[in-house]
Amino acid sequence: MEFRYLGVSDIKVSTVGLGTWQFSESWGVTNYEEAKRIVERAIEVGINFFDTAAVYGRGMSETFLGKALKELGVREDVVVATKLPGEFLSRHDVFKGTKRCLERLGTSYVDLMQVHWPPLWNNFPTCEYMRALEELMHQGVVRYIGLSDFPVELVESAWSCLSTEDLVSNQVRYNLVERDAEKEIIPYAEAYGLSILAWSPLAKGALTGKYTPDNLPEFKDVRTGSALFHPDNFRQIYEVVRLLKEVGGKHGKTPGQVALNWLLTASDTVIVIPGAKTPEQVEENAGAAGWRMSFDEWLELEQASSKVRISRVIW
């Protein structure tokens, strides 16, 4: 496993983390023992970074993750990141919401507390919630502050509200066929020392090689109705998948491992946090680290993925 610093912090995290949205009804891992096996395998293959959120399963993900880390006796050896949603960002709810997160995780502190998305419908002033998060750092219950799904303008606004602390990360959608983060967000992160936590780095499974244009199942999870799997979009994506298979064949890697490795090669700021529904998927994801494709292979994927135009106007 490879490691990178989390922004300007002194924390080193595995370049491949484990996202835990799957510990919820949205993705279907609702059995604790199954979730524990996934967390345990992540530890075994060198993953030390775990990302969850208050809204994942309305607390189920945090509860499962915290219980597993406690039972495995590894809490002090790992980095736990969670998130408060936009609805929880009034000053009093930042404190109350963080307390609930700590209780579900069974821990006295969170390594990284992230604002899950801006409070677009609630009109909470940016400095109100950012200053509250800074106070939680002073109390020692939050070690570092990050954002999630913030455009550059709002990152700057949020950062300007902090008096004594710094932001360390911005978590955004980023994968080989959804690369809009490269336009502004990643260059900004590189310039100012922020880590990019890439969520959906496998495009909800579209880049794993499991599906073909003639084999698109009717999903019964969060992917239901996803634009990625609309036939017009997936036909374009599958051309990239073909190339992922070709490159992977030369290195003994799966398409998904190649897709994750491409992101890690694209920028030193990137840390990928794919989910996993089985221990085997965790092990496969971890295999994205520790090797490098050639520049020619990277460029082929760059050129092929640049041609993909995902349209979300599908109805």
According to DSSP, residue 111 is labeled E
User: Identity (one letter) of the amino acid at 69?
Assistant: L
Using an 8 Å Cβ cutoff, are 83 and 114 in contact?
yes
Using an 8 Å Cβ cutoff, are 170 and 193 in contact?
no
Please say if 56 is a catalytic residue: yes
Catalytic residue among 56, 144, 174, 211: 56
| Among the listed residues 95, 145, 152, 91, the one whose alpha carbon sits nearest the alpha carbon of residue 122 | 91
Using an 8 Å Cβ cutoff, are 60 and 23 in contact?
yes
Q: How many CB atoms lie within 10 A of CB 215?
A: 7
Instruction: Specify which residues 115 forms β-bridges with.
Output: 84, 147
End-to-end CA distance of the chain: 43
- Catalytic sites, residue numbers: 56
